Structure 1
Amino acid sequence: MQLKAKIVLLAVLPLLLSLLAIGVSVLDQQRTLARQTQTLVREAYMKSRRIELRNYVDLAVGNLQPLATSLPPAQRTPEAEAELKRRALHLLETLNYGHDGYFFVYDQQGTVLMHSRQPELIGRNLWNLTDTQGRYTIRLLLAEARAGGGYVDYLWRKPSSGQMAPKLGYVELLPPWGWMVGTGLYLDDIQATLTELDTEMNNSIRTTLGWLMALAAGGTVGISIIGLMLNLREHRQADAKLRLMARQVVRSQEEERAHLARELHDGTSQTLVAGKLLIESAVVELESRGQTPPGTLAQALKRLNDALHEVRHLSHSLRPTLLDTLGLPAALAHLASEFGQHAKLRIDAHTEGAEIELPDEVKTVLFRVAQEALTNVAKHAQATEVDLSLAFEPGHIELRINDNGRGFNVDAVSAHPTAGIGLRNMRERLAAIGGRLEVHADQRVGPMQPGFEDAVHGTLVMATVPRKALRSIPSPPSGHLT
């Protein structure tokens, strides 16, 4: 694993583990809090509903008490008493709250005197009524009422559903008449309210966990993006340093080439010229004396001329003076002329677009690419015609070398450890100045110049340098490579 990946992993893993621990802790606390909260809410809710039931019954009894004591003893007749009771029961019958909130009235013998939701029970004696557990419901209610009032849990039919449901009732006695007045709340309604509260609490906790997960994902993505940005920045810096080093290497090579070219031109070449002049002087002196010069002098003179020609050719190959004096187009034209004569090729060198002054490194790289490409044509292509063009396009500088040779398998040669050295060198030279190399073989790519229409097979080498890359290449001082 790479160091950068380890660093990112060491940064992300603790974050994920800590968030996982927080999530597990929150889930555990959620369950504990849910249980505690449910217990507290149930107790508080039940307490409030118990108080509410008692207040309802106290209110009802408080309204009935004045009626029960409104007749003076002298006016208490059975008819008057019955009328007061009828009015009292009618008043209670109209007091309802909620869907299933109502009052009921029983006498001391368990007879139903009033039941607003189940009028069919009025007049029936329910003293012996039992629930599913065998408990006497009305007897329990009457016992609590006689004890001064109290709460009773029992089962009763719910008016809104018609089903038996657990109910919490509160009852009191109305002393003057001995009635048991009560009301109650169905516990399934309370449970529904508690369930709704639990749902809201769980939703809130899930939302909190969702935010934690979002923060975890955001933190992971943020760290990944920062790591990627740092990685890209380091790559860009490394690429810039590599390009700078490559340019420095190329510049050093060119400086060494220029130095050798000068040494050959100023040293070796001059020595050979001096030797040639001495031999020619010897020949002239012998002839002036009427003597025939030996044949070895003529052979030596011929060998000196050949050596002088080779030294000059080598000097120009190492660093053509035209590249520094007249520029890249002239140097390419001279290169094409020399290669055409040497390799028996028809080479058409031309320039397109408005010529601009190029940095020395760019001129050198493009010249070396052309030199390498023409060398490959002469060695391998078996071509007869070559089109060499230098185009000054609006957005880039493009060098094209197109031949009509036999072509080759570009992918295979590029992947070969030794066969593609020339192509790799050209690519590396261009990459060092921000350019790129494209090679297309086995078929002609793009139009040929007039006179090359029959070149339907061959190789096209394109070297492209963007104009924006030219601005990032500093030009060395004048005469740096001369």
Structure 2
Amino acid sequence: MSQLWLTIKSRWKIILLAIVPLIASTFVIVYTVRYQAIALEKQQQEVIKTTYLNSKDLELKSYITLAKRSITHLYDSGRVDTAVMEEAKAILAKLEYGKDGYFFVYDYQGNSLVHSRQWNLVGTNQWNLKDDQGKLVIQDLINRARTNDKGGFENYDWEKPSSHSIAPKRTYVITLPKWGWILGTGVYLDDIDRALIKVNSQLRDNIHSTTFSIIIIATFVVVLIIILSLVLNIRVDTKLSVADAKLKILAQRIINTQEEERTRVARELHDSVMNMLVGIKFRIEGRIIELLENEQSDSVRVRLEDIAVKLKDTLTELRRIVRDLHPLALDLGLKVAIEQLVLNIHDVGIAAKFSTYGEVDSLSITTNRALYRATQESLHNIKRHAHARHVTVKLEEDSACVQLTIQDDGIGFNVDHIKCDPKHGFGLHNMKERVESVGGELTITSSLQGTIVIIKVYH
């Protein structure tokens, strides 16, 4: 399970390594698009404004040309009398275009001579007239017209006839030097401001739409990657689960085969070799008795007695081997078998205590073997390495699981180091495999105060 979890974590790391750059690149693209779009918006504003002003400048020049032609016959007559000038004023006062297009005339002193939309100005001197920005409008218009024979353009704020509101205006003026006049007309620029606002709104809508589209596409790609990854994970996890289940079955078969082989070897040793050794022992003991009755040589008797002692030790060791290969006590139940192991540990001077809770004799043979072998390995490690004085073994069962707890007060060991050391920890590895083969889990905690081994096998 830990390997499976590591595999899943590694797979998700790979997925994140694919998604994170995608998200980062999406943000970079969105930022770049917005930055370029805003820059393009400013450029487009300048282009639109310049184009608009150029077209209006040509338009104003055309209007002035037409207005001048309307009075050419009078201006070129060479007359400078009042009657001719009044006739020219009347003609110019009637000229207009659009709802805000008109012509005006001022003399060089700033007196208003013609203004078809603001009659109240006619006859007044506007030399010192200023707009809202403090600009001397009439003086600038006169100076602009007189400093350039072809006329010139001026921008200022002026009242718009159609709305009676102050708006920016661009005016083109020329001089009529024979009469000491300036003739001009202009267009209001608030229309271009509205046009630019409309263009800006459309550009911003396009920017938002493009940004939203990029985000939607990126989100779709991320979601698609996640979905495909989940599908892949499910398939791989399923395959891993099947493989893990097959490995568990194979491991259990190997363990069962080992136990069966041990049982077979134990029976062969018990039924053949051990019986043969027992028979030899009886014969030697019989010869010793005969020697004692016949009062034969003491040296021969001593030798036979020595052989008998060694043979007895051999039988004891052989019984231990047979018991380890196939514990006969396990046939009487798990409690009896583990209790026998706990009693045997007293032989090395370790105080041991064994207790049970619940019905633990209803477990399967496979589970009994796994728990027995785990106990055997734990007690063996305690005898060889722990330097413990006390050992407690507890076997208990409830509705959820069977739990085996083995605790000692020895010197402990580094669990992680032993697990990672290929030269050591073989017994712990076997314990873990046996426990997991029956659907259990093994937990080992160790410190200088001792070691606790907990095995849980769930129903």
Fold in common (TM above 0.5):
yes
Q: Would the aligned equivalents of 2:140 and 2:154 in 1 still touch at CA under 8 Å?
A: no
Q: 5 Å matches for 1:59-74?
A: none
Corresponding position: 1:134 with 2:137 = no
SS in 1 for 2:255: helix
Deviation at 1:368, TM superposition (A): 1.9
Q: Would the aligned equivalents of 2:413 and 2:447 in 1 still touch at CA under 8 Å?
A: yes
The AA in structure 2 aligned to 1:439 is T
Corresponding position: 1:314 with 2:343 = no
Q: 5 Å matches for 1:59-458?
A: 111-115=113-117, 121-124=121-124, 131=141, 134-135=144-145, 155=155, 157-159=157-159, 165-167=168-170, 186-216=188-218, 219-220=221-222, 222-223=224-225, 226-227=228-229, 230=232, 233=237, 239-240=244-245, 242-279=247-284, 286=290, 291=294, 295=301, 296-323=303-330, 325-340=331-346, 342-355=347-360, 357-410=362-415, 413=418, 416-432=421-437, 433-443=439-449
The AA in structure 2 aligned to 1:134 is R
Q: Would the aligned equivalents of 1:386 and 1:404 in 2 still touch at CA under 8 Å?
A: yes
The AA in structure 2 aligned to 1:367 is Y
Distance 1:383 1:271, change over 3 A: same
What is the rounded CA distance, in whole Å, between the counterparts of 1:14 and 1:346 in structure 2?
63
Farther off after superposition, 194-203 or 227-236: 227-236
What is the rounded CA distance, in whole Å, between the counterparts of 2:222 and 2:269 in structure 1?
64
Q: Would the aligned equivalents of 1:426 and 1:437 in 2 still touch at CA under 8 Å?
A: no
Q: Would the aligned equivalents of 1:400 and 1:460 in 2 still touch at CA under 8 Å?
A: no
What is the rounded CA distance, in whole Å, between the counterparts of 2:345 and 2:20 in structure 1?
63
Deviation at 1:415, TM superposition (A): 5.4
What is the rounded CA distance, in whole Å, between the counterparts of 1:428 and 1:22 in structure 2?
53
Distance 1:192 1:17, change over 3 A: same
Aligned to 2:131: none
Q: Would the aligned equivalents of 2:357 and 2:395 in 1 still touch at CA under 8 Å?
A: yes
Distance 1:264 1:132, change over 3 A: farther
SS in 2 for 1:347: strand
Q: CA RMSD in A?
A: 5.6
The AA in structure 2 aligned to 1:385 is H
Distance 1:162 1:32, change over 3 A: closer
What is the rounded CA distance, in whole Å, between the counterparts of 2:445 and 2:106 in structure 1?
113
Aligned to 1:461: 452
Distance 1:34 1:381, change over 3 A: closer
Q: State the percentage of identical aligned residues.
A: 29
Farther off after superposition, 394-403 or 328-337: 394-403
Deviations 1:120-167 (A, max 9, x none): 5244599x987499359xxx9xxxxxxxxxxx9974523389988344
Deviation at 1:210, TM superposition (A): 4.0
Deviations 1:266-322 (A, max 9, x none): 3322332343454456667x48x9645852444444333332222221111122133
Distance 1:352 1:226, change over 3 A: farther
Deviation at 1:351, TM superposition (A): 0.9
Distance 1:208 1:105, change over 3 A: closer
Distance 1:111 1:238, change over 3 A: farther
Q: Would the aligned equivalents of 1:398 and 1:462 in 2 still touch at CA under 8 Å?
A: no
TM-score by length of 1: 0.58
What is the rounded CA distance, in whole Å, between the counterparts of 1:345 and 1:107 in structure 2?
126
Farther off after superposition, 305-314 or 183-192: 183-192
What is the rounded CA distance, in whole Å, between the counterparts of 1:393 and 1:377 in structure 2?
27
Figure out how many residues of one structure are paired with residues of the other and give that number: 379
Distance 1:29 1:290, change over 3 A: closer
What is the rounded CA distance, in whole Å, between the counterparts of 2:51 and 2:258 in structure 1?
91
Deviation at 1:435, TM superposition (A): 0.6
Distance 1:242 1:123, change over 3 A: farther
Deviations 1:433-463 (A, max 9, x none): 44122223322xxxxxxxxxxxxxxx23222
What is the rounded CA distance, in whole Å, between the counterparts of 1:221 and 1:205 in structure 2?
24
The AA in structure 2 aligned to 1:435 is E
Deviations 1:16-68 (A, max 9, x none): 8997999799789969997999899999999xx9xxxxxxxxxxxxxxxxxxx
Distance 1:26 1:439, change over 3 A: closer
What is the rounded CA distance, in whole Å, between the counterparts of 2:244 and 2:192 in structure 1?
72
What is the rounded CA distance, in whole Å, between the counterparts of 2:288 and 2:113 in structure 1?
163
What is the rounded CA distance, in whole Å, between the counterparts of 2:44 and 2:361 in structure 1?
82
Unaligned 5+ residue runs, structure 2?
1-6, 57-89, 127-137, 173-183
What is the rounded CA distance, in whole Å, between the counterparts of 1:166 and 1:249 in structure 2?
99
Q: Would the aligned equivalents of 1:115 and 1:121 in 2 still touch at CA under 8 Å?
A: no
Unaligned 5+ residue runs, structure 1?
50-84, 141-151, 170-181, 444-458, 471-482
SS in 2 for 1:115: coil
SS in 2 for 1:435: strand
The AA in structure 2 aligned to 1:159 is E
